Amino acid sequence: MGDAVSHLELFLTFLKMGFMMFGGAYGGVGLYFKVLVEEKGWIGEEEFTSIVGVAQSVPGPVVVNTALQVGYALGGVLGSALAVLGLLFPPLTLVLGVTVLLRTYMDHWAVRALLRGVNAAVLALILYTLLRLGGSILLRGGAPDYVSLALFAVLSILLVVARVEAVIAIALAAAASLLARAVLGL
């Protein structure tokens, strides 16, 4: 565990993020980046990118998988458990309460207006994540990483136009990157 991160601080940080995590996976990844990398400095940008890459390539929600890995990196097995517990407690309790209220008042103009605002904020978080992580993925040492750029372009087309499944896109990208490294040395 990092010297500056106690188990209590780890739990409380993920608890706080659990209350702020709107927008699901990619909104959550943006929040993680802002808090864990930029504000607290607990992990570096490159390590964060690697953690998110692994979290996306295994079954399960990316925000939970990321919390497990970050928790482990900062506090071992107990850190993983505390990060996930902190992360999941707020949404479980909030979703239960919101579900009861929304089912009753979903057609009310104020509820629809609130949800429109939340959706706009979530979209902004997703864009923030794309912009912040995009630079560290598509550039290496300030220079373009042409393999990553090419994979990004091809997979974007496959995902949007051909509607390839996410797991297939990840597998194709991993295989192509491995092949580019092994055969071409890129």
**Using one digit for the tens of pLDDT, what is the confidence trace for 4-49?**
799 999 999 999 999 888 666 667 888 898 899 999 999 998 899 8
**Using one digit for the tens of pLDDT, what is the confidence trace for 139-161?**
887 788 899 899 999 999 999 99
pLDDT above 80: residue 180: yes
Distance separating alpha carbons of residues 40 and 75, to the nearest angstrom: 15
Distance separating alpha carbons of residues 48 and 149, to the nearest angstrom: 19
pLDDT above 90: residue 114: no
